[in-house]
Amino acid sequence: MEGFYCHEKDKITFTSNNAIGGLHIPPAALTISGLHTDKPVEYRVMPSVVAAYKKQMTALELANAAYSLQTLANELFNALCDACGECDKCGEECPYSTADFEMDLELPDELMERAGLESGEKLFAAAVNGGILICPAKDMPSLQSVPGELMEMLLSCDVCPEELEDHIVKGDIVYGVS
């Protein structure tokens, strides 16, 4: 995605050729965040998130930034937990074994390259008609698509893996739903 970043005194504007008007952050929001100055700003692009922050921060500013991001992470985590509910409807035994979401399948780099896949790319595997189907996890959304550390946190909070996978497979909107 081609785009550019413009930092003027009263606003930060992120635009791209694919987005009409781009993303505009109101001056009041920039004032609250402390990004309204002429000082350099950095951004970090991560799956589903773009975070903008000061390029240079004092210890207190860094502590506040870390706390703010942790607070947001907690809010998003809690929303995911609420969307999936507790794991209580399976009865005695949950049909999901830990192997369903703990498996980190690794193949030799040479085989990955021959398949046209990036070395270290997360893979999905399933038993199909007496064989094994292996493809990039991004092509087959499932519990294996969830980062392992996050999955461990969700399980420790007793989130229902069946509900989570159902939402993932269906592509349900589970945040920002009115």
Q: How far, in Å, are 94, 122, 155, 177 from residue 163 at the CA level? A: 12, 22, 12, 17
Structure confidence by residue, pLDDT tens digits, 108-138: 889 888 988 888 787 877 777 888 878 887 7
Are 36 and 1 members of one domain? yes
Q: Is the pLDDT of residue 1 over 50?
A: no
Separation between Cα atoms, residue 11 and residue 178, nearest integer Å = 29
Q: How far is CA 114 from the centre of its chain?
A: 28
Residue 46: phi and psi, rounded to 5, are -135, 165
Whether 33 and 74 share a structural domain: no
Token couple for 32:
């609250």
Q: Verify that 5 and 80 share a domain, yes or no.
A: no
Global pTM? 0.70
Domain shared by 19 and 66, yes or no: no
Number of domains in the chain: 2
Confidence of residue 62 (pLDDT cuts 50, 70, 90): very high
DSSP structural state of residue 38:
S
- The answer on 76 and 38 residing in a single domain is no
36 and 77: one domain? no
More confident residue, 163 or 24: 163
> Which has more confidence, 78 or 147?
78
For the chain, give the percent of residues with pLDDT over 70: 78
Q: Which of 29-43, 52-66, 93-107 has the lowest mean pLDDT?
A: 93-107
Pair of tokens at residue 154:
């969700």
Alpha-carbon dihedral 29, 30, 32, 37, rounded to 10 degrees: -170
Domain boundary among 10, 34, 56: 56
The verdict on 151 and 68 lying in the same domain is yes
Identify the domain containing residue 153 by its residue range. 59-178
Q: What is the mean pLDDT of residues 78-96?
A: 80
